[in-house]
A and B are shown apart, each in its own frame.
Chain A
Amino acid sequence: MGYFLQQLINGLTLGMIYGLIALGYTMVYGIIGMINFAHGEIYMIGAFLAVIGFTVLGLLGISYVPVALLIVLFTAMLFTAVYGWTLERVAYRPLRSAPRLAPLISAIGASIFFQNYVQLAQGARVKPIAPVISGGYTVFEEGGFTVQLSYVQILIWLLTLALMVAFALLIQRTSLGRAQRACEQDRAMASLVGIDVNRTISLTFVIGATLAAVAGVMVTLYYGVVDFYIGFLAGIKAFTAAVLGGIGSLPGAMLGGLILGLVEAFWSAYFSVEYKDVAAFTILVLVLIFKPSGLLGRPEVEKV
């Protein structure tokens, strides 16, 4: 029971991180119908920015955790926003009316570029940071097994939930959100009611990138290590989460992330840690075969 509870906590935490990254995938897919395979690298850059940020703040002697955390979060979001914007500008916008394969290849190219760029700039070795937030609550104890809910996990939950609420409000209530939904449904028509489609698409990339940055910072806090390669796997898993939830559906991305996180946690706990990726990608295969529209996605309606 205790073991189960602990895995549930771990799985939810992991799931929220996947969910945050998956939002970026699903948003971009919704608006331009393309999978941004370089999105995982944006997350990786966010994680690196966190390492750099905390290290620099440590050197400057700013060690009060809430302040340090806020500074790191904002700088990471700011920088990844620039990366996201540039990525769209350089790798996707010139190919917007090209055949679908072209932007896909361009996305994979951008992804490889970012990995190598970070590897060159930061070195290939794993970068550790000293734990910034340590400790936690003991939820309960049973026969010598303690179920821990760490402060980092609580932070991840709260931050993710807050971002989800803010994000839902942005999409539902603001005119930017409305413009995004309009572009999703009919891009040409959106421009005919005076919406700047290019800017809306740019902002979509920027928002997706900042969410990925938050996920990157959280992961750095959670695991304490990053390397230039983490974006690949996390990206593909978040993509799996987005597909599982129904690509294009925002609540679906979050739900898919949570399910994937839980499956991974329980699989590692009860079967084998080595094969947890197999579990994750088996889901991807099964969903694509049996329910390609995902859990919350709308099935593709044939246009007459």
Chain B
Amino acid sequence: MSALLTVEHLSMRFGGLLAIDDLCFAADERRITAIIGPNGAGKTTVFNCLTGFYRPDVGRLTLHRPQGPLYLERLDGYRIAQAGVARTFQNIRLFPAMSVLENLIVAQHNVLMRASGYSVAGLFGAARFRRAEAEAIEFARSWLERVDLVERADSPAGSLPYGAQRRLEIARAMCTRPRLLCLDEPAAGLNPRESAELTALLRSVRDREGIGVLLIEHDMSVVMGISDHIIVLDYGKKIADGTPEQVRHDPNVIRAYLGEAEHEALPAEIAADLRRDDRPT
């Protein structure tokens, strides 16, 4: 079990707001690491730093690969994606006008671009490109099967129901052949049955593909059920780090979710549920 991603002393400031304050953590291969915390704790900001949307003010984000470490804070977004960090969004961002299948093929852009000699060969239908494209379609189909969208392969992605769009977004992220999959609230808006399916999918991604999963999630049943490791943020600071069992009983976590002492007896899941009711939607 080696660290796949290490985040060291990450800080990010927006004007007067310190969104992330000296954050350190590690995410391992073949494990699901969850980042939880109340609203505004800086969870999505961490993702934005990891995927090149923001340049962190301070800190080192290292992706460990067999061929040597890679410092993500120095790379452009598409280079980070090429290095193997894939991401989904809280508000789904598919390519809505493309078909479901095409969403998965465009995710394999780099493989295809190389095979097609930057489209020149593709234009003339060279055999090498056709073979690469056939493989890409095959790979995309295998993912459609795993997320149960084979019948919808040719529909525009924007026309899928909400839950299916979420699954497609994960499949698309997986089609970039990532080493680290970052999921921003994948269970948001899903019904309990869909949440259970999602949980099974994430487990299979962890076990079959053997990649690391980094998860932001508010749904505590999902988080507690699948995480191997949980990091709790509050006001940009890490307040707890450990297994679900450790985090659940950590007094700091309970305080962060519920405020001071009087609710201390409540377990974190209920705390989170309470919290969720007054969350603006």
Give min CB distance, A150 to chain B, whole Å: 31
Q: Which A60-95 residues have C-beta < 8 A from chain B? A: none
List, in ascending order, chain A residues with CB within 8 A of B176's CB: 193-194
Contacts of B102 in A (CB 8 A): 178
B73 to chain A, nearest CB (A): 16
**Of the candidates A170, A188, A195, A197, which one forms a contact with B119 in the assembled complex, judged by CB atoms under 8 Å apart?**
A170
B105 in contact with A178 (CB, 8 Å):
yes
**Cα distance A182–B172 when bound, in Å?**
13
Beta-carbon contacts under 8 Å, A184-222 to B: 185-186, 188-197
Please give, as numbers and ranges, the residues of chain A lying within 8 Å of B76 by CB-CB distance: 191
* Bound-complex Cα distance A188 to B93 (A): 9
B81 touches A185 (CB 8 A): no
| A contacts with B: majority SS | helix
CB closest residue in chain B, given A178: B106
A176 at the interface (CB under 8 A from B): yes
- B109 contacts A166, CB within 8 Å? no
**Inter-subunit contact A175/B119 (CB<8 Å):** yes
Binds A, one of B59-67, B110-118, B251-259: B110-118
A residues less than 8 Å from B82 (CB atoms): 194
A-B contact count (CB 8 A): 86
Is A185's CB under 8 angstroms from B105's CB?
A: no
Q: How far is the CB of A170 from chain B (nearest CB, A)?
A: 6
Residues in B with CB closer than 8 Å to A186 are: 93, 95
CA distance A170 to B172 in the complex (A): 23
Q: In this complex, what residue of B is CB-closest to A173?
A: B122
Report the interface size class on chain A: 20 to 34
One of A177, A178, A192 near B77 (C-beta < 8 A)? A192
Shortest CB-to-CB span from B92 to chain A, Å, is 10
> Please, which residue of chain A has its CB at the minimum distance from the CB of B89?
A189
Chain B residues whose C-beta falls within 8 Å of the C-beta of A179 in the assembled complex = 106, 109, 113
Given contacts A189-B93, A193-B109, contact A176 B118 (CB under 8 A): yes
Collect the chain A residues with CB atoms within 8 Å of residue B118's CB.
176
Binary contact track B119-155/A, C-beta < 8 Å → 1, others 0: 1001100000000000000000000000000000000
Are B122 and A192 touching (Cβ within 8 A)? no
Closest chain-B Cβ to A195's Cβ sits at a distance in Å of 5
CB neighbours (8 Å) of B210 from chain A are: none
Cα distance A177–B105 in the bound complex, in angstroms: 12
From A170, A173, A194, contact of B109 by CB (8 A): A194
For A189, give the chain B residue with the smallest CB separation.
Answer: B93
Determine whether the beta carbon of B119 is less than 8 Å from that of A177. Answer: yes
Is A282 among interface residues, defined by CB-CB distance under 8 A? no
Q: Does A233 contact B (CB under 8 A)?
A: no
Decide: A188 and B116 in contact? CB cutoff 8 A.
no
Q: Mark B65-98, 1 if CB is under 8 A from A, else 0.
A: 0000000000011100110001101000111111
A291 to B102, CA, bound (A): 31
Complex-state Cα separation, A197 to B53, whole angstroms: 13
The distance in angstroms between the C-alpha atoms of A194 and B78, with both chains bound, is 4
Complex CA distance for A101 and B96, rounded to whole angstroms: 28
Q: Quick check: B112 and A175 within 8 Å, CB to CB?
A: yes
Tell me if B122 and A174 are in contact (CB < 8 A).
yes
A181 and B78 form a contact (CB under 8 A): no
- Contact between B122 and A193 (Cβ–Cβ < 8 Å)? no
Q: Is the CB of B93 within 8 A of A174?
A: no
Q: How far is the CA of A188 from the CA of B175 in the complex (A)?
A: 17
- Supposing A181-B98, A195-B78 touch, asked if A174 and B119 sit within 8 A by C-beta, the answer is yes
Q: Which of B51, B86, B110, B123 contacts A170 (CB 8 A)?
A: B123
Q: How far is the CB of B121 from chain A (nearest CB, A)?
A: 9
Task: Please provide the chain A residues from 142 to 186 with a CB less than 8 Å away from any CB of chain B in the complex.
Answer: 166, 169-170, 173-179, 181-182, 185-186
9 pairs of A and B residues whose beta carbons are closest in the complex: A176-B119, A174-B122, A194-B81, A175-B112, A191-B77, A174-B119, A191-B78, A193-B107, A185-B95
Given contacts A176-B119, A179-B109, A188-B77, 6 further A-B contacts (CB under 8 A): A175-B119, A178-B105, A190-B106, A192-B78, A193-B107, A194-B82
